Amino acid sequence: MVQPLMPASEEPTEASPLFKPQDAVTSSEEQHQQQQPVVEDPGWNQDAIRALVSTTVFLILFTLADLLKYVAVVRLLELGVCREYQRRHDPSLVDDNGYVPEKLCKLAEIQQRLAHLRGYYSALDSVVGLVLTVPYGLVVGRLGERLLIAINVVGYLLSCAWFLVVCSFWDTFSTWTAVLSPLFRAIGGGSPFLFSLVYSIAAKHIPSPKRSSAFFMFLAAQTITSTIATLIAAAFLDHGFLFLPLLLNFPIGLLCIASLAFVRGTISSGSAASSRQDVQNDDNDDEHVNNTSRSIRHSARILGEVLQNPAVLVLLATVPVAKAVNPIGELTWQYIPKKFGISFAETSRVLSIPSLECVLLLLFVLPNIKSVAQSRYHATSIKVDLYFVQYGFLIQAVGCVIMAFAPTLTVFVLGILVFALGCSTRPALQSVLAELASSREHVAVLFTVIAVADLIGSAAGTILLNWAFSIALDWEMRMYLGSPFAIVGGCFIAAFVASVYIGGSALHHHSRRGA
């Protein structure tokens, strides 16, 4: 891969804004006139390795905290709904501490209420991020990425604190008020914006031929961490420590903030000049208004440039489908105990089974396949990644169909294993989109748009799947419980068709730009 050789003073960093003021950049025509001879990509260097290590450490810590939280949230919500139900029908089943045995919480009415609350919880979390991702993106240049990530983690910890308060004082607060905890994620913009910052840092510093492998490594690290966190949470639930996973979020969250010290945070000359100008005009409100106005206009122009490419538009439309992996994973936490009659602790162990498969694929199989395709068959990096995207969607569709019609837990686990074979879809899709960006500035904006698409996928997927599951519970027929998986399987097939349809155009656009 060849890239324009730009002056060192203009090199973007993590502190570079996702949206930069208009007067800080040149026009497309001026950029074209200033292009220098291209050189071969330098490959791994100290800056790329440092970015890789820093972002991986942060993702590991945050994933550990987030999964511990999610396991506790599902179980505590079920306990709260079950407690309120039993207090109305048989108060003797509720002890003095408000605890009800888990086996008494599998009634259809309780599970239906739980599905609704889970849907509201996830949808509210997505809506908060959807509203605030772009506004927070506009202030990255002024506040810096590290500060915004730290603020985001603080908002996350406050949401954990509210959930703990509601569940601890269950005789004061109704269970549904716990669902309001995502409102605290307004402080920092929510998880998708957090990940857009982290992935943008990595995308700007890791060479493009290595980018998808780095994203595979991110997902593998998160998968390993998720497995460990799942087993830890299962042990806590087995011993009745329902609140401990949430309590552990606070020291782990502080470690997340501390790990930001390892993230490269130097300010580019353009940002420094902008900061000096702000200091000089500190008392001039009109100048600040003009700067903000220019920033917004420039953001709109860059967004228009990013969306001019039809291939980018179509692939962005598949991002919400790729994000449906999360709502599917969330649904299985309620689906497996309901259909197959096992506890949450046993469910967590079942869901850890595909993790080893994903790790092997992401760390060893897929990188080697890509290396062979590039060296032996002279395939370009973007072409290999595009194949990963296309066939990943198809494999995930097959896995969803198996899960939808699985009559036994064994067959369902087989469906999960097939579904996990498509784990490369999302990181490969991000890599393809980054390759199609015409500049590093466009990469930063593109990852903000990806964050918005992620939020749409999370909100729509959660609402759709929980709505379908709730209807299936109403029908009280076990054969229809898998209908949510069949619905999302159809979405994966549509994404496969779209990615195949636009694949040729994406490769043509990339090769023409490289020429």
DSSP 402-439: HHHT--SHHHHHHHHHHHHTTTTHHHHHHHHHHHH-SS
| Residue 313: predicted pLDDT | 93
Query: How confident is residue 342, by pLDDT bands cut at 50, 70 and 90?
Result: confident
| Residue 440: predicted pLDDT | 67
**Global confidence as pTM:** 0.74
Which whole number is the average pLDDT over 29-50? 56
Q: For residue 408, give Cα distances in angstroms to 336, 402, 482, 487.
A: 10, 11, 12, 20
Checking if the pLDDT of 249 tops 80, the result is: yes
| Residue 449: predicted pLDDT | 87
Q: Comparing C-alpha atoms, which of 354, 343, 334, 361 is closest to residue 481?
A: 334
Side chain identity at residue 171, one-letter code: D
Checking if the pLDDT of 281 tops 60, the result is: no
Query: How confident is residue 414, by pLDDT bands cut at 50, 70 and 90?
Result: very high
Length of the chain (residues): 515
| Residue 9: predicted pLDDT | 39
- Proportion of the chain above pLDDT 70, given as a percent: 82
Checking if the pLDDT of 21 tops 60, the result is: no
Checking if the pLDDT of 306 tops 80, the result is: no
Checking if the pLDDT of 401 tops 90, the result is: yes
Checking if the pLDDT of 201 tops 90, the result is: no
Which whole number is the average pLDDT over 383-409? 95
Structure tokens at 103: 């086996």
| Residue 176: predicted pLDDT | 93
The more confidently predicted of residues 24 and 48 is 48
Element spanning 68, H or E: helix 46-89
Structure tokens at 428: 């490969």
The CATH code for residues 15-20+43-273+300-514 is 1.20.1250.20
Which whole number is the average pLDDT over 332-351? 85
Residue 392 and residue 400 in contact, taking contact as beta carbons nearer than 8 Å: no
- SS3 call for 343: coil
Domain positions in the chain:
15-20+43-273+300-514
Distance separating alpha carbons of residues 62 and 153, to the nearest angstrom: 9
Structure tokens at 512: 């023409």
| Residue 352: predicted pLDDT | 79
Distance of CA 58 to the CA centre of its chain: 14
Lowest-confidence segment of 54-68, 82-96, 167-181, 330-344 by average pLDDT:
330-344
Which whole number is the average pLDDT over 191-210? 85
Query: How confident is residue 22, by pLDDT bands cut at 50, 70 and 90?
Result: very low
Checking if the pLDDT of 286 tops 60, the result is: no
Which whole number is the average pLDDT over 390-398? 97
**Burial class for 143, CB neighbours closer than 10 Å (0-12, 13-18, 19+):** middle
Helix axes 366-375 and 208-238, enclosed angle (nearest 10): 170
Distance separating alpha carbons of residues 104 and 230, to the nearest angstrom: 23
Which whole number is the average pLDDT over 256-276? 57
Residue 445 and residue 19 in contact, taking contact as beta carbons nearer than 8 Å: yes
Alpha-carbon torsion, ordered 460, 461, 464, 465, to 10 deg: -160
The most confident of the ranges 50-59, 125-134, 212-221, 408-417 is: 408-417
The most confident of the ranges 34-43, 220-229, 301-310 is: 220-229
Structure tokens at 187: 């402080």
The most confident of the ranges 45-49, 130-134, 148-152, 478-482 is: 148-152
Checking if the pLDDT of 500 tops 90, the result is: yes
Q: Name all contacts of 427-430 with Cβ < 8 Å and 24+ positions apart.
A: 427/212, 427/215, 427/216, 427/218, 427/219, 427/362, 428/212, 428/215, 428/385, 428/386, 428/388, 428/389, 428/392, 429/315, 429/318, 429/319, 429/322, 429/385, 429/389, 430/199, 430/203, 430/215
| Alpha helix ranges (H) inside 260-324 | 269-280, 285-306, 310-323
Which whole number is the average pLDDT over 459-481? 80
| Residue 81: predicted pLDDT | 95
Q: For residue 515, give Cα distances in angstroms to 38, 136, 207, 421, 467.
A: 10, 36, 18, 35, 49
First to last CA, the chain: 11
The more confidently predicted of residues 438 and 473 is 473
pLDDT digits (tens, 9 = 90+) for 135-185: 887 777 677 778 899 999 999 999 999 999 999 999 899 999 999 999 999
| Residue 192: predicted pLDDT | 83
Partners of 3 in beta bridges: 39
